[in-house]
């Protein structure tokens, strides 16, 4: 039996069997499983499975297995359960007891979270399925821009094709965000997609409301998310009063007309102000706050990654790119992973624990490329103090990036992988920031963050 098959089988056994599994999703490094009865899952045994680096118990059960492996384990789980990835088990197939357990779990989950955490989680769920496309498109764009900056002819056929391939997702991203939002809130996905089409439609420039021509894309992806959520709410309310025989005609018609008009007259203007406030605010914080702002943002980002809420920042990065052409926030936050790489290297130099050394050897290559979960769950977090010194290392790198005003024209990657996406030819500045974070993470961990007694926590 292949390693991934063994992992999938063991995971299924320790979450209460296939009948307890409601939905299979995954991101770059984590399986995200919706299960009916959390009490039936044995978290301690899940952590002991060979290949599992960590477990986060949240509204979805997050099992960290690392990049590449996560796709294969998800496929194996799908084969074992017959549940397609991203597909939710039909409520009609559930027993009354299972339905009651799901409802109880949802209520329990909501009471445990703050509204901010719930919002970030929902936003993360909207963007997680888009990450592979964002990564691929961003890198292709980065390669094309790198070539143009190096002197290549931007009108050449090859570069024009690369720009087309790399920019297509970003051109129509609002449609996919609208689709995923409606799906996340149990509405009709195509209605959510239409809201994205409306709010980013170039034809908006020909419409005048409140004495001003509308601006395509104003309000950003936050506006799309709100409009797509609202249409799911309206759709459900309309459906209650519509006869079944005409539901397929009347419900979407009324929902689209009502929310479509609201989007132009209220949602876009309001979220235009909201989005401008966020993006201009972040730029001002980094420009005015400089060293302090960069250090604080980078230093506190790793805890956000720890609980899986970092994906909730995706629309902020994308709206920054939409408004300014780049995101100043991403290079700063990317230093969190770099500080952790430096910490891991320091531990590798000091420790004689073979299990710990193996964890570091396995996690460092992807750590340099900006995927930090293997080192986070396999090394720094279990040890405790190195997690803190990694954050300190990140703060030094973040401070430098803020002072140098580095930015990124794409998202989805960090670490060394982000270099081709750095804006305004500031590749060297970004790399120097990485080296500073590596060095600070190493120095603080080597001097203050690790002693061999800590390795007893690694099993």
For 175-216, the pLDDT digits (tens) are 999 999 999 999 999 999 999 999 999 999 999 999 989 999
Whole-angstrom Cα distance, residue 302 to residue 337?
8
Question: How much is the pLDDT for 412?
Answer: 81
Q: Which residue has the tokens 């800590």?
A: 454
Instruction: Look at 56-65, 217-226, 373-382, 411-420 and tell me which has the smallest mean pLDDT.
Output: 56-65
Q: pTM of the prediction?
A: 0.81
Question: How much is the pLDDT for 176?
Answer: 96
Question: Is the pLDDT confidence value at 111 over 70?
Answer: no
Structural contact between residues 226 and 196, judged by C-beta atoms closer than 8 angstroms: no
Minimal CA–CA distance to 360: which of 335, 384, 377? 377
Whole-angstrom Cα distance, residue 255 to residue 238?
7
Question: How much is the pLDDT for 96?
Answer: 53
Q: What percent of the chain has pLDDT over 90?
A: 51
Catalytic residue check, 391: no
Whole-angstrom Cα distance, residue 290 to residue 272?
26
What value, to the nearest 5°, has the Cα angle with vertex 375 and ends 373 and 379? 130
Mean pLDDT, the chain, rounded, equals: 88
Question: Is the pLDDT confidence value at 87 over 80?
Answer: no
What value, to the nearest 5°, has the Cα angle with vertex 178 and ends 173 and 183? 130
Q: Which pLDDT band, with edges at 50, 70 and 90, does 40 fall under?
A: confident
Question: Is the pLDDT confidence value at 19 over 90?
Answer: no
Question: Is the pLDDT confidence value at 103 over 70?
Answer: no
Whole-angstrom Cα distance, residue 259 to residue 100?
33
Alpha-carbon distances of 166 from 155, 172, 432, rounded to whole Å = 15, 12, 27
Q: Which of 21, 27, 182, 228 is catalytic?
A: 27
SS3 label, residue 229:
helix
pLDDT tens, position by position, 266-311 = 999 999 999 999 999 999 999 888 899 999 999 999 988 887 778 7
Alpha-carbon distances of 158 from 164, 187, 416, rounded to whole Å = 10, 41, 25
Which stretches within 86-219 are classed as H helix? 96-112, 115-127, 131-149, 157-171, 173-184, 189-199
């Amino acid at each position: 039996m292949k390693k991934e098959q063994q992992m999938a089988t063991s995971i299924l056994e320790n979450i209460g069997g296939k009948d307890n599994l409601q939905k299979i999703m995954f991101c770059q490094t984590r399986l995200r499983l919706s299960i009916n009865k959390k009490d039936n899952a044995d978290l301690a045994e899940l952590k002991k499975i060979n290949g599992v680096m960590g477990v986060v118990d949240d509204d979805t059960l997050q099992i960290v297995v690392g990049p590449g492996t996560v796709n294969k384990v998800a496929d194996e789980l799908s084969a074992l359960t017959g549940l397609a990835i991203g597909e939710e088990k039909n409520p009609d197939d559930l027993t009354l007891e299972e339905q009651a357990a799901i409802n109880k779990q949802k209520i329990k989950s909501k009471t445990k979270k703050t509204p901010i955490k719930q919002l970030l989680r929902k936003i993360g769920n909207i963007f997680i399925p888009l990450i592979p496309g964002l990564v691929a498109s961003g890198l292709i764009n980065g390669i094309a821009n790198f070539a143009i900056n190096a002197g290549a002819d931007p009108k050449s056929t090859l570069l024009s094709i690369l720009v087309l391939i790399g920019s297509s997702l970003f051109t129509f991203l609002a449609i996919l965000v609208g689709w995923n939002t409606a799906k996340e809130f149990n509405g009709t996905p195509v209605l959510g997609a239409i809201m994205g089409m409306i709010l980013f439609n170039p034809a908006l420039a020909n419409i005048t409301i409140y004495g001003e021509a509308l601006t395509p894309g104003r309000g950003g992806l936050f506006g799309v998310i709100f409009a797509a959520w609202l249409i799911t709410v309206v759709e459900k309310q309309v459906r209650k009063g519509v006869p079944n025989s005409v539901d397929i005609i009347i419900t979407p018609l009324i929902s689209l007309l009502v929310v479509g008009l609201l989007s132009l007259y209220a949602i876009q203007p309001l979220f235009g102000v909201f989005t401008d406030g966020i993006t201009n605010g972040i730029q001002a914080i980094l420009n005015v706050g400089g060293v302090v702002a960069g250090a604080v943002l980078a230093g506190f980002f790793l805890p956000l990654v720890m609980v899986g809420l970092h994906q909730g920042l995706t629309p902020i990065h994308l709206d920054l790119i939409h408004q300014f052409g780049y995101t100043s926030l991403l290079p700063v936050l990317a230093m969190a992973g770099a500080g952790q790489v430096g910490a891991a290297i320091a531990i590798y130099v000091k420790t004689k624990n073979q299990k710990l050394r193996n964890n570091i050897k396995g996690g460092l290559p992807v750590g340099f490329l900006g995927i930090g979960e293997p080192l986070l769950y396999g090394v720094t977090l279990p040890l405790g103090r190195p997690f803190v010194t990694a954050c300190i290392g990140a703060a030094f790198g973040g401070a430098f990036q803020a002072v140098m005003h580095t930015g990124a024209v794409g998202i989805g990657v960090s670490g060394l992988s982000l270099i081709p996406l750095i804006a305004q030819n500031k590749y060297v500045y970004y790399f120097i920031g990485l080296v500073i974070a590596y060095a600070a993470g190493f120095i603080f961990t080597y001097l203050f963050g690790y002693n061999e007694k800590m390795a007893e926590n690694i099993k």
